[in-house]
Amino acid sequence: SIAATNLRARPADSVLFRFLQIPDVATMETTDSSSYKRLISTTSTAIPTTGSPTMATVTAAGATVTAAPYAPQRRMSDQDRPLFEALIADDHSEHPRRRHACTGRFLTMHKRRRKKLNTRSLALDQAILDDILHGQVQCILDRVGNWRFNAFTLETVTGGRSLPVLCVHLFHWYGLLDHFNLDVVRVWKLFSLIEEGYHSTNPYHNSIHATDVTQAMHCFLQERRILENLSPLEIMASLIGAVTHDLDHPGVNQPFLIATSNHLAALYENTSVLENHHWRSAVGCLLESGVAEQIQGIRPELEKQISSLILATDITRQQEFIAKFRDLLTRDSLDMRNQQHRHFILQISLKCADISNPCRPWDISKKWSMKVCEEFFRQGDYERQLNLPVTSLCDRHSTSIPKIQTGFFKFVVTPLMDEWHRFLKTDLSHSMMHHLKFNQVQWESKLQAEINEETRTEISDAELLEDEDVDDGVDDQDEPLNELSDSSEVLIPNVAKFGRRGSLQISAGFCGVRSERRFSVPVHSIPKIVLPAREPRDHRDLSAPPESIQESDEHKFDNDSLSIFSSDSDSLHRGARGSSTGS
């Protein structure tokens, strides 16, 4: 029998030719896989197994083939048949794995896409997937509502398919498939397209981040105050908005796209470039997957809610949303039966989910912090290569991860999470605030350690410099004095080097007398002039324990400087903020 490795190594057409001795399969009238299966089933019984090779005529699905069986003849074993069918079911194009580098459904500058899984047949892989889903993956999905959820673990045990696995599970869990009569195959295709739209080369804005945000959104939707008032449409919009909120993210922010004249900046007229691109890409996936055809009645409202939710993730609008949220809570005027209030809470939910990794347990939160800073530093490297001004938070040579994270926790995450906890007041919000405070202390301690190390280094350098100055100013007095100028250098150090001191008065007469002395005059008889000791450098600013983040650093994390975390440019946001204040 043909070994499994040989079957997998040969193209489908050559294997079929080996079995049947027929012309190229591409010349047959019927080329669908079901016809191939019926053809093989008929052929394996029609070909004799003994005697000399004879011609066999086979008719299947309207295709008549006269073939000479390959000697020695045999029936296809049950072990070889599924392997052979896997080859038949593979893509019949001439180069099935070849894709032009510039093709793709998305519009960002990146040409590299997520690596496609090397699967040949759903019939074969389904059993493997079932075993996994009933094993490790199922254990994780059973606890998908737990705040200690680790998206990296799910990504590992699913073989890189955490996003579609989680989202299809949630659609089942909420009953959306039955309520909207959705085809599960199309739903799987939808989330597979979304997964492909995320760039696996991004350290932070990739499909794992989308999985993490979607799970956080699911946790928020489980809160009774929110869930009991939501409609199925709002739940579906929330899940799709969460999973697509950074779809096709290029790994850089909007000012970078504008500075480099990227086509996306021109397409969206420099206004919320990335957010607009994210939600429009999401709508494109709905159309391409065929899911949009099944929800024609609610499609306009669904797209409207998805776009509004994703546009709210623009972090430069942070203060706008916090102020409105705080006002509603203070006046106790939030009514979840009001559709506008519900949608606003969903916007806040997605904003909290988007920056929720600082509220995860320390081991998970630290990993996300390292990844987001690495993406910032990559943008700084790009800016330096292009001779552009390097964004302060993106310069790996002038800032550090603890400094970035401490400021981000203090000025961005904490104000929003305080109001979110004020709204929920549940075990979930208590757990989030506990992790947030603990993680902030960890980063502050790391920042303080960095500052202390820099202080010790600067003090050591200063002391070393003083020692070098003293050594250079005092010559070895045991050396014989052969010239009068030598003795004068011993008495009066180099003024040009140390600077003339006001306390050192040297009269012209003294200089004249000294210049007329002869060698017979003992050196010890000359009045010794002692220079005043140098005052040590003031290190009070170095030794005093500084604050981890000074209030003067807050401008780095205000609305005009937060474009590194999102997309809105500084100049545009100033205008928008002025107009919103006026309104």
Bond preceding residue 72 cis, omega within 30 of 0: yes
Neighbours of 136 (CB within 10 A): 15
Known binding residue 434? Answer is no
Tell me how far CA of residue 151 lies from CA of 83, 178, 372, in angstroms: 34, 27, 15
Number of folded domains in the chain?
A: 2
Known binding residue 218? Answer is no
Largest Cα–Cα separation, the chain: 133
94 or 270: whose pLDDT is higher? 270
How far apart CA 39 and CA 123 sit, in angstroms, is 19
Place 210 in a pLDDT band, splitting at 50, 70 and 90.
very high
Tokens of 78: 């049950």
Give the side-chain half-sphere CA count within 13 A for 433. Answer: 16
In this model, does residue 314 exceed pLDDT 70?
A: yes
Three-class DSSP category at 225: helix
In a domain, 563, yes or no: no
pLDDT at 222: 97
How far apart CA 125 and CA 128 sit, in angstroms, is 5
- Which of the following is catalytic: 169, 205, 421, 573? 205
Which of 333, 499, 326, 501 shows the shortest CA–CA distance to 417? 326
77 and 199 assigned to the same domain:
no
In a domain, 251, yes or no: yes
256 and 207 assigned to the same domain:
yes
190 and 280 assigned to the same domain:
yes
178 and 281 assigned to the same domain:
yes
Q: What values do phi and psi take at 59, rounded to 5?
A: -120, 125
476 or 81: whose pLDDT is higher? 81
Q: What values do phi and psi take at 399, rounded to 5?
A: -135, 175
213 and 348 assigned to the same domain:
yes
Mean pLDDT value of segment 551-570 = 52
Amino acid residing at 410: K
User: 184-197 and 207-221 helices cross at what angle (nearest 10)?
Assistant: 130
70 and 140 assigned to the same domain:
no
Three-class DSSP category at 324: helix
- Contacts of 15 by beta carbon, 8 Å cutoff, 6+ apart: 2, 7, 84, 87
**What does the DSSP assignment read for 147-185?**
TT--HHHHHHHTTS-HHHHHHHHHHHHTTHHHHTT--HH
Known binding residue 130? Answer is no
How far apart CA 514 and CA 398 sit, in angstroms, is 54
Q: Which of 81-95, 159-173, 331-345 has the lowest mean pLDDT?
A: 81-95
Which of 93, 127, 76, 124 shows the shortest CA–CA distance to 12? 93
159 and 36 assigned to the same domain:
no
Tell me how far CA of residue 67 lies from CA of 80, 82, 137, in angstroms: 20, 22, 48
Q: Are 209 and 321 in contact (CB under 8 A)?
A: no
pLDDT at 573: 41
327 or 24: whose pLDDT is higher? 327
Residue that terminates a domain, selected from 88, 116, 146: 88
In a domain, 470, yes or no: no
Three-class DSSP category at 507: coil
- Contacts of 395 by beta carbon, 8 Å cutoff, 6+ apart: 377, 380
Q: Which DSSP state fits 404?
A: H
In a domain, 220, yes or no: yes
pLDDT at 515: 44
Known binding residue 205? Answer is yes
How far apart CA 373 and CA 30 sit, in angstroms, is 55
Task: Categorise residue 544: left if φ over 0, alpha if ψ from -120 to 50, beta otherwise.
Answer: beta
pLDDT at 518: 44
In a domain, 69, yes or no: yes
**What does the DSSP assignment read for 46-90?**
HS-SSSS---EEEEETTEEEEEPPPSSP-PPPTTHHHHHHHHHTS
In a domain, 291, yes or no: yes
Highest mean pLDDT among 12-21, 246-255, 496-505: 246-255
Residue that terminates a domain, selected from 88, 115, 147: 88
pLDDT digits (tens, 9 = 90+) for 137-147: 889 999 999 99
Residue that terminates a domain, selected from 88, 109, 139: 88
In a domain, 250, yes or no: yes
In this model, does residue 174 exceed pLDDT 70?
A: yes
Known binding residue 206? Answer is yes
Mean pLDDT, all residues of the chain: 74
In a domain, 231, yes or no: yes
Highest mean pLDDT among 101-115, 293-307, 472-486, 514-528: 293-307
298 and 357 assigned to the same domain:
yes
pLDDT at 532: 54
Neighbours of 153 (CB within 10 A): 14
Neighbours of 505 (CB within 10 A): 8
- Contacts of 384 by beta carbon, 8 Å cutoff, 6+ apart: 390
18 and 153 assigned to the same domain:
no
Known binding residue 208? Answer is yes
pLDDT at 44: 43
Tokens of 403: 């400094």
84 and 201 assigned to the same domain:
no
202 and 350 assigned to the same domain:
yes
45 and 168 assigned to the same domain:
no
In this model, does residue 453 exceed pLDDT 80?
A: yes
Tokens of 524: 């010890």
How far apart CA 121 and CA 85 sit, in angstroms, is 8
How far apart CA 105 and CA 546 sit, in angstroms, is 51
Q: Are 140 and 157 in contact (CB under 8 A)?
A: yes
pLDDT at 469: 62
Place 454 in a pLDDT band, splitting at 50, 70 and 90.
confident
CATH number of the domain residue 174 falls in = 1.10.1300.10
Mark whether 95 is an active-site residue: no
pLDDT at 84: 52
How far apart CA 563 and CA 492 sit, in angstroms, is 60
Known binding residue 343? Answer is no
In this model, does residue 10 exceed pLDDT 80?
A: no
Three-class DSSP category at 443: helix
Q: Are 281 and 244 in contact (CB under 8 A)?
A: yes
Q: Which of 67-71, 158-162, 557-561 has the lowest mean pLDDT?
A: 67-71
For the entire predicted model, the pTM comes to 0.65
Q: Is 365 exposed, middle or buried (0-12, 13-18, 19+ CB in 10 A)?
A: buried
Known binding residue 209? Answer is yes
Q: Which range of residues forms the domain containing residue 210?
A: 127-368
Known binding residue 91? Answer is no
